[in-house]
A and B are shown apart, each in its own frame.
Chain A
Amino acid sequence: MAAAAESATVPIVRPKESTATKTLRVLGKAPLQLLLVLIALLWLVPTIGIFLTSLIAPEDYTNGGWWQIFSKPSVATWENYDAIFSNETITKSLWTTALIAIGGTVLPIIVAALAGYAFAWLEFPGRDWLFIAVIALLVVPLQMALIPIFKVYDTLHLYDTIAGLILFHTAFGLPFAIFLLRNFFIGIPKDILESARIDGASEIRIFVRLILPLGLPAIAALAIFQFLWTWNDLLVALVFARDVQPITVAIFSQLRQFGANIELIAPATFISLAIPLCVFFAFQRYFVQGLLAGSVK
């Protein structure tokens, strides 16, 4: 706050600047630049920290923190990762996580795109009220569903299955997905749709050939959200699965002996966060767009 006030005395736009005032302006910004560099570095430290921790063999870890790598690069080793990748529980759980995340991304998008299209472009009684109902469901905490669905899954043999987890993620991803896609679809120019209808295209055809391709930016944003959400889930898997463990649950079961299992916990955690990070960096633009569409709208 203090920095904001301090730098606020420097005018941003000025029609003409002499070299002297320009130099002054740049120099005046130096403390702000320095502060922001410091903050950015501070924000990166934890992620760097867990990566370096994952490289240190347990016997070296007891000698000091992860920053010992900077003074003694020889302590870095891939051994922990070798151990992780030959650990069947971990590799299996990574595979499970991927299946849940893919299923939990594709299914809700299909279901939500259909509903979003209906809410945006089909006419039926009570449309607005139903959409408001969807908006109301947006904030229902999933804690409200854990106990009854636990019982339902028990009866239907969906407990401890990948399918059960995917279905749950789909249901709780739907309100946001429908909301986002409906708002995007409604922005598609009406003329395009009308002319397709006049040409005799069926609604299904319009949906597949027109809406889906035109809605791709929103669908991409949604896909990234859903993927991150399902990949990163802990609670749902903790409740509805025992042996079918995604990576978060597999790590969670090791937390009791945090210090003793650090050589397993650190690399497994890093792998579990590296994949969402890659997705994030690859599709950052869509991610931010989706975020803005979902919250500012």
Chain B
Amino acid sequence: MSGASITAEPPPRAAPEAKEPGRWRKYALAAGFLAPAAVFLTVWVIYPTIYTIVQSFYAGSGFGDFAGFDNYRTLFTTDIFQTAIKNNFIWVAVVPALVTAIGLVFAVLIERISWSVAFKTAVFMPMAISAFAAGITWRIMYEQDPDQGAVNAGIRSVKDTFTPAGVLSSASPSTDELSGSPTTGYTLADSVEPGEVASLGLTRIPPDEVPEGAEQAVKPEPLQGGIDGVVWRDFKPGGGKAGEVEQDELGLPGVTVELKDASGMKVASTTTEANGTFSFEDLEDGDYRVGIGAATFAKPFGGVSWLGERLITPSIIIAYIWIWAGFAMVVIAAGLAAMPRDVLEAARTDGATEWQVFRRVTIPLLAPVLAVVFITMLINVLKVFDIVISIAPGSVQDDASVLAVSMWRTSFGGTNNFGLGSAVAVFIFVLVIPILLLNVRRFRREI
């Protein structure tokens, strides 16, 4: 069972010259052709499989310390393994179905375009790349800082188009006279009547967030029949009085000031000048409220933490789908191409809509192909390894762990607990056995 048998087998030569070789001669010839494969499969696959199964019932390395089911008990009760099992379960539940579905959609859609070869090449290309290199590629994509990670940069550019970041994302009121929150905006607590001056002091504005072109703040003179006021940075190096416009305090230009009537209805809005002043003219008598809208305080998009402990598994799954969608698409497209067109045409002639044809004819006819894709993905997902250890940063490796990763960690990650590692391997093996039986049944029928 050791390597001795590698060299012990004679190389397959011995070609019989006789025209009608005897029965035994024929068998010997076949044995010669099969011998190298038999050696490889016995020494590297079958013998190790038996060894690993036995090892999983022993503690540590070797067969000195029989442990019964202890290793399996550890496997199902330890946190780190439970996380791995849970994650692998997520992979199994999500990935094969999603990859098959995406492959089906792509395969159906590209039948309607003239450049399907180019599309196929683009989507199929990641199949050639190692899962490891793909992982590193996606780790670069996922960097949290939107200035570095392309995924977050993409989200930010979309988000900024619809809800741009406010001028003053970190400001807060300098006195209690302004009340509210960054998400609702800030409004003066007291109502204002025409002819009065509103002072809206803000503080906690870092120097680099002061809008460009800001000048010395000015408290304007009261306005006849209108309301005016100032929005300024109520902060003076070395002190100063809160709520009062003082020398060296800057006006805040470009801030949107809103005017509401007594019932809370917005009646007008305006933008502040370089010195922070604003005014609403020609107002009817009555009580008004002056405030600054929430948009001014909207936080810029800080980036989703794709590689953080909460999102790490979905992030890796996205990268994995990027690799495998092409496989599903190509196999399903081939299945589509081989489909009897007359059946589809007959359905259409009978007045079925395209959706009905797809749902009632295409999918049932494609079922065997879809099953093959699904099962292939199931096997792949149970053994997923490279992409997990290449995307997950060290700090979240435990959160992202799957069975194959924990098998490697346990067996070769320093602790070298071969018994426990074998138990993990056997667990993976047990999970693929139904697929193994399925394959065998399928081919027994075929032969």
Contacts and interface: CB of A to CB of B under 8 A. Distances in A.
B30 to A, nearest CB: 4
B36 A111 contact: yes
A57 interface: no
B90 interface: no
Given A8-B358, A144-B425, A49 B436 contact: no
B435 interface: yes
Nearest to B4: A156
Interface in B30-49: 30-31, 33-34, 36-38, 40-41, 43-49
Contacts of A265: 136
A117 B33 contact: yes
B138 A203 contact: no
16 contacts: A4-B108, A12-B112, A43-B123, A43-B126, A46-B137, A111-B36, A122-B33, A135-B443, A141-B429, A143-B408, A144-B426, A238-B408, A272-B133, A277-B129, A280-B127, A288-B124
Nearest to B147: A64
B317 interface: no
User: Main secondary structure on chain B at its contact with chain A?
Assistant: helix
B224 interface: no
B443 A273 contact: no
Given A39-B123, A40-B123, A49 B141 contact: yes
A168 interface: yes
B406 to A, nearest CB: 10
Interface in B163-183: none
A145 B45 contact: yes
B255 to A, nearest CB: 29
User: Main secondary structure on chain A at its contact with chain B?
Assistant: helix
Nearest to A248: B132
Contacts, number: 320
B8 interface: no
A245 B411 CA distance: 20
Contact of B119 (A40, A46, A144, A291): A40
A191 interface: no
A50 B36 contact: no
Contacts of A143: 383, 404, 407-408, 424-425, 428-429
B109 A232 contact: no
Nearest to B149: A65
Interface string A171-186: 1101100100000000
Contacts of A80: none
Contacts of A45: 141, 150
B429 A50 contact: no
Given A46-B138, A137-B45, A147-B52, A3 B2 contact: no
Given A9-B353, A36-B119, A273-B133, A295 B376 contact: yes
Contacts of B444: 132
| Band of interface residues on A | 35 or more
A232 B131 contact: yes
B240 interface: no
Q: Which 6 A-B pairs have the closest CB atoms?
A: A232-B130, A171-B44, A8-B354, A280-B128, A115-B37, A145-B48
Interface of A: 1, 3-5, 7-13, 29, 32-33, 35-36, 39-41, 43-47, 49-50, 53, 61, 63-67, 110-112, 114-115, 117-118, 122-125, 127-128, 130-132, 134-150, 152, 155-156, 158, 167-168, 170-172, 174-175, 178, 200, 202-205, 207, 228, 231-235, 238-239, 248, 251-252, 255-256, 258, 262, 265-266, 269, 272-273, 276-277, 279-280, 284, 287-288, 291-292, 295-296
A131 B131 CA distance: 30
A36 B373 CA distance: 22
A102 B27 CA distance: 32
Contacts of A262: 140
B52 A144 contact: yes
Given A40-B123, A147-B422, A239-B412, A49 B140 contact: yes
A134 B41 CA distance: 9
Given A11-B354, A67-B150, A204 B26 contact: no
Contact of B140 (A3, A144, A266): A266
Interface stretch (B15-23, B79-87, B185-193, B245-253): B15-23
Interface string B419-447: 00110111011001001100110011001
B418 A67 contact: no
B76 to A, nearest CB: 18
Given A238-B408, A292-B330, 11 more contacts: A32-B109, A46-B137, A49-B137, A66-B140, A125-B27, A139-B432, A146-B411, A146-B421, A146-B425, A174-B45, A296-B334
